[in-house]
Amino acid sequence: MKFGRLERREAPKPMGEINMTPLIDVMLVLLVIFIIAAPLMGSALKLDLPKSDAAAPGPGARFIALAITPEGAYLLGEDQLDAKAVRERLVQLAGRQPDAELRLSADRTVPYGKVAQLIGWAQKAGLNRIAFVAEQGEGSEAADAAPAPAPATKR
């Protein structure tokens, strides 16, 4: 048997380097998020939507997005179409998805007659579930701008 002195080893030196693996993982996740979100931000349609307190999208997985721009152009999804093409596409979409919801976005400057005409086309095509897209907020601005009536006074 050999008896020797127990040698003490030096304590491990502190690490003087930064571990790059978590940083690279976070950066790759952010890159993927930006790659997915970039096309969605570029195709945003600029509409001045009316405001409503009840402006919350309903639960529904299948919907058809239709918008009317201030100039009166129709946008079905990303495609700009004329009136005849919109009617034809609505019939096609209603045939494929009869229970789909039509989400209608119209600028507040679009005349009501044009919106009503579009609703009629959708109903003739067989789309009976129509939702109006509005911004979350106060209701009518005309009511806010109008002065309150003066209280009646007795003489």
Q: Which residue has the higher pLDDT, 67 or 6?
A: 67
**Of 18, 20, 67, which is closest to residue 46 (Cα–Cα)?**
67
Q: Which of 35-39, 56-60, 78-82, 147-151 has the lowest mean pLDDT?
A: 147-151
Question: What number of CA atoms fall less than 13 Å from residue 125's CA on the CB side?
Answer: 29
Domain range summary for the chain, segments of one domain joined by +: 51-136
Q: Which of 41-55, 72-86, 115-129 has the lowest mean pLDDT?
A: 41-55
Q: What is the 3-state secondary structure (H, E, C) of 98-132?
A: CCCEEEEEECCCCCHHHHHHHHHHHHHHCCCEEEE
Which architecture, in CATH terms, is 51-136? 2-Layer Sandwich (3.30)
Strand spans (E) along the chain: 51-52, 63-68, 74-76, 79-81, 101-106, 129-132, 135-136
pLDDT of 3-45, one tens digit each?
666 677 777 788 788 888 999 999 999 999 988 887 776 555 5
* The two three-digit tokens of residue 31, written as one number: 């890159």
pLDDT of residue 50: 62
Q: Mean pLDDT throughout 63-85?
A: 86
* The two three-digit tokens of residue 109, written as one number: 């400057």
